[in-house]
Structure 1
């Protein structure tokens, strides 16, 4: 009898789950901004702060809770006319808060980022460093070890467009300059674990190189470690100074190999160690160092990314802690985002293809408290499986890719090829809003890491040079063909959607001969290669580095070849790819009597963090309508 009842309840549960999975969520579930953007505990473990939305459009505030009584009313910190974007604990009583504000000045419309220091108890005024300079631009370099009153800031003290380093008192706003930038050393300052600036960079205009400098101690002279030329593609970055061997600095570099690895560079001898860490399949990402005051800067492991970000641990205690936390969340990507000095309070964030983001507080290593979901309207059954695969390009190059498989419908599925932006970037898909939105509505999604993507070695990166709209585009199409051969994708129902460089790809995808797509969707896309080259970067170095690699198909010159319906989407204040790219393309579509739809998002900039609820609601509804009623 008990067994029958259990079976009956289990079947009812399965039926309920199946029905819920089949239910289509309202667009609000995906269009609303994250309910929680950040959670962090103070070093003493007494308080927990979170950046929480007050409505669907964000309007974020900081809530500060007493950990001993999380149900008590929190202190709430907000900002008039400014949007809070981030925060960090500077000591146990003070928070550093990042803001941004949209400025409309005549025909100019742009964002200004600012910073303030506030008391976590909500009392007192907000302290804005260098308030007298309305255009002040500075960044936090380090909270000084053993000093709760001062932080290191990078700031242009004498307004000569060369940053300096200052010690800033977070209580009274007083500052003193500790390092003057000059024409040789002009930024990229890296402090060691004692808070001393011992690495920096400068731009050599005569040779058009970025020169990296370091010094064994503050008593030693600066040594030029590396001159990086834009004419030579390589990876070389300072990471941090070794705690165990203070005259050595960790670097991420290729040093003649295809994949970037981690080395130690001896500033006194000019010699590199053997490769400390590296993989055959992907570049190394960096080092994991202790953030605790008692052993600040001590090496704990090496970071890398295959399907997901991962760590090769060298510290057995950290490895054991991470593994014990991961054991609490089967089949989840688990990240420790904040911890108290004694590890009795640890903030954990979980993600997976069936978890859009959830925060937890682990107390005393035994009590797990759920803080909340990032997207509370999206439940696990509403999301779809993500697979990490690879396939071969036409010339045999291995192309990694993420594939999101819809939980509804039958194969072969209508399919969307979704190339990433950049193109010097890569996807890291754990929970991806756009692919999950499409999969939730029945579309199979592939995100190819085409040639020109970063993170897979120099050969893969350089293979994209001068192949815009050509071999790079072939790699994307080949991903669709691979899914067709596997019986997953329907060759009669293929579309391409992308943003930024992905938008460029969607422009090109609308005009290819023997087109495999039934439609495309170009978001914030580059349409004119000459125009993007002319406005690529203010930096001479970056112009020299990237401009020679951008050549191939310029979509604006070939609009007459468009042979499938195309939807064009762009933000009207896009600072990265100006909206003229889409407006000019649409004018040509109209001139050539092509089938198109144009959606211009008012007040939207280029990057996804400037797309608000109203932008996403308009964009998502238009995209889904286009796919359903125009494409297929």
Structure 2
């Protein structure tokens, strides 16, 4: 059976282009939005749904295919005014579809998200939960075992700004409240495998803590398990309830250690088990559980991330299935992203530094067919190897990093230091569009996991507190120096490029004494620490936990120190880091006669999933031109 027709419509109309492996790809290859965003099969294995692009700008639709006849014309589901961003099978007949739309109202703009339920055969009307509420904002918590027509939603049903838990019928639209939120328990609801809400969280205004609650059963009282304080920051997170002992809950916690591990917490006794899983080098990730109806919630393993995400399996059958599939794709990161209840239909996703993403369909554990590539114009020969390394900071702290080697040129290479956003985040590089774009054009790229990055233990995380533009910045510079010492980076051709917190780092990088860089590129960067701290007020978590950690160099106060050329890029409707951060910085650059260029992306918000084809084309053109012709 051949499945090429599944992707033929995707390729037609996206771009008519062929480039040999030895040539430099046009920007379209990287700037076009993914041809396929998501693939999923129904639980009975009879239907396959795919979220795919119809143009270089996305314009996504859902195609629903019959597994028995994949070459037949699919059912196509789309929207005229709103953008489809995702879907999930709610049962074997219905899909839940997520939409979004950007609304611009005078000087304000905001994203509106909607959720609708539709028959997979395309027949009948779309069902919109709480249709009368134009601002309805809810979260799907869970399907319900034994009842394929009902789901659990988190939604403020009585409009008191406190979420509740609602049982919603996807067939007739009826709903009933199963749990009222209150001032103590006000969100973060977690159901057990039976659909009973048994964990939640709230904000304690008196102690300025985030309090986590659980109960041993639906009849038991809520027990406060943990208070998370900004004064004593630690990792603690409910994961899921144990099927084997329902009164116990899996938690991810540091529990007195540096690296977070996974434990079972006994809600009745308040005691922890021995550490079930943990590593010396990185934090544990989560529990891996069965999603099948027959053994829903059963533990299968523990996830973690070193160079890339991985699983320590406790279920030998699941491990055997995963390993047998991995043998089909050498040197690839392989995931079963969707599967039928009987495992006779499995959707497989592969990725690697040389594979931006490919989907396959495995049937009856024998027949394997390609469904399509995420970026069909990029071939393995166009991409570069990525290495996972570490080096020592000036004070001896170990700094992990990803290094993407250029696909052309000779050592020592022109080099770009590319710090991630957050800064409470970390890179997980399997395929990274920006570093591969730069490497394709001859640049060595290093992505340092500087102090303040998450995932490498509590000490590494906390070491970044109030070190913005100081030790955090030193960690990045040390990464460049490390590559220089190894003979890989040319000390006369060093640049820094980053987005969000990385953009902040590029602002700071443009004004350091004894500067090692020849230029920087600041994308959507924070320039004013006082301003960004003020914008954190709306989020309880960020206000109480992160804001006390943000101090150091405020670039807007020191523009006179800028001593190298700087390219500034920002979206004009950025809601996370308002565009004023870049506009004010550029105004000062202009006043002081500094060497700069400013590019403002019309209609672009902060995060990468709001950068469309026209934004990326303008952005990538400016970035490469700056590095090629201004920096080096």
* Corresponding residue of 1:488: 488
Assess if the C-alpha contact under 8 Å between 1:307 and 1:428 holds in 2. Answer: yes
* Corresponding residue of 2:378: 378
1:557 aligns with 2:566: no
Aligned equivalents of 2:482 and 2:539: distance in 1? 40
Assess if the C-alpha contact under 8 Å between 1:344 and 1:365 holds in 2. Answer: yes
> 5 Å matches for 1:278-289?
278-289=278-289
Deviation readout 1:91-139 (Å, 9 max, x if unpaired):
0000000000111112111111110000000001111100000011111
* Corresponding residue of 2:181: 181
Distance of aligned partners of 1:247 and 1:574 in 2 relative to their CA distance in 1, 3 Å threshold: same
- How far off is 1:499 after superposition? 0.1
> 5 Å matches for 1:124-523?
124-523=124-523
* Corresponding residue of 1:623: 623
Aligned equivalents of 2:21 and 2:379: distance in 1? 9
Distance of aligned partners of 1:537 and 1:379 in 2 relative to their CA distance in 1, 3 Å threshold: farther
Aligned equivalents of 2:493 and 2:270: distance in 1? 58
* Corresponding residue of 2:531: 531
Aligned equivalents of 1:215 and 1:544: distance in 2? 26
Aligned equivalents of 2:85 and 2:312: distance in 1? 31
Aligned equivalents of 1:628 and 1:513: distance in 2? 24
* Corresponding residue of 2:11: none
- How far off is 1:558 after superposition? 0.7
- How far off is 1:329 after superposition? 0.1
Larger deviation: 621-630 or 209-218? Answer: 209-218
* Corresponding residue of 1:10: none
TM-score (norm 2): 0.96
* Corresponding residue of 2:3: none
* Corresponding residue of 2:22: 22
Aligned equivalents of 2:271 and 2:264: distance in 1? 8
Aligned equivalents of 1:311 and 1:186: distance in 2? 32
* Corresponding residue of 1:567: 567
Assess if the C-alpha contact under 8 Å between 2:448 and 2:475 holds in 1. Answer: yes
Aligned equivalents of 2:98 and 2:147: distance in 1? 22
Assess if the C-alpha contact under 8 Å between 2:64 and 2:76 holds in 1. Answer: yes
Deviation readout 1:331-355 (Å, 9 max, x if unpaired):
0000110000000000000000100
Assess if the C-alpha contact under 8 Å between 1:144 and 1:195 holds in 2. Answer: yes
* Corresponding residue of 2:597: 597
Larger deviation: 462-471 or 536-545? Answer: 536-545
Larger deviation: 228-237 or 537-546? Answer: 537-546
Assess if the C-alpha contact under 8 Å between 1:574 and 1:604 holds in 2. Answer: yes
Aligned equivalents of 1:224 and 1:538: distance in 2? 25
Aligned equivalents of 1:553 and 1:465: distance in 2? 13
Aligned equivalents of 2:220 and 2:598: distance in 1? 60
Assess if the C-alpha contact under 8 Å between 1:230 and 1:541 holds in 2. Answer: no
Q: Secondary structure at the match of 1:583?
A: helix
Q: Secondary structure at the match of 1:80?
A: coil
Deviation readout 1:244-303 (Å, 9 max, x if unpaired):
111100000001110000000111111110100000000001000000000000000000
Q: Which runs of 5+ in 1 are unaligned?
A: 1-18
Assess if the C-alpha contact under 8 Å between 1:211 and 1:228 holds in 2. Answer: yes
1:59 aligns with 2:59: yes
Q: Secondary structure at the match of 1:375?
A: coil
Q: Secondary structure at the match of 1:535?
A: helix
- How far off is 1:20 after superposition? 3.6
Q: Which runs of 5+ in 2 are unaligned?
A: 1-18
Assess if the C-alpha contact under 8 Å between 1:507 and 1:527 holds in 2. Answer: yes
Aligned equivalents of 2:539 and 2:27: distance in 1? 40
Assess if the C-alpha contact under 8 Å between 2:21 and 2:379 holds in 1. Answer: no
TM-score (norm 1): 0.96
- How far off is 1:541 after superposition? 4.3
Q: Secondary structure at the match of 2:490?
A: strand
Assess if the C-alpha contact under 8 Å between 1:213 and 1:224 holds in 2. Answer: yes
C-alpha RMSD of the superposition: 0.8
- How far off is 1:77 after superposition? 0.1
- How far off is 1:540 after superposition? 3.8
Q: Secondary structure at the match of 1:557?
A: helix
Assess if the C-alpha contact under 8 Å between 2:468 and 2:550 holds in 1. Answer: yes
* Corresponding residue of 1:88: 88
Moved over 2 A (4+): 19-22, 539-542
Aligned equivalents of 1:456 and 1:183: distance in 2? 34
Assess if the C-alpha contact under 8 Å between 1:168 and 1:176 holds in 2. Answer: yes
Assess if the C-alpha contact under 8 Å between 1:208 and 1:540 holds in 2. Answer: no
Assess if the C-alpha contact under 8 Å between 2:230 and 2:548 holds in 1. Answer: no
Aligned equivalents of 2:446 and 2:384: distance in 1? 13
- How far off is 1:227 after superposition? 1.3
* Corresponding residue of 1:7: none
Aligned equivalents of 2:568 and 2:482: distance in 1? 27
Q: Secondary structure at the match of 1:188?
A: coil
Q: Secondary structure at the match of 1:271?
A: coil
Aligned residues: 614
Deviation readout 1:166-200 (Å, 9 max, x if unpaired):
11000110001111111111111111000111111
* Corresponding residue of 1:5: none
Aligned equivalents of 1:421 and 1:462: distance in 2? 16
- How far off is 1:22 after superposition? 2.8
Q: Secondary structure at the match of 2:581?
A: helix
- How far off is 1:210 after superposition? 1.2
Aligned equivalents of 2:267 and 2:545: distance in 1? 27
Q: Secondary structure at the match of 2:188?
A: strand
Aligned equivalents of 1:69 and 1:377: distance in 2? 27
Deviation readout 1:22-58 (Å, 9 max, x if unpaired):
3100000000000000000000000000000000000
Q: Secondary structure at the match of 2:148?
A: coil
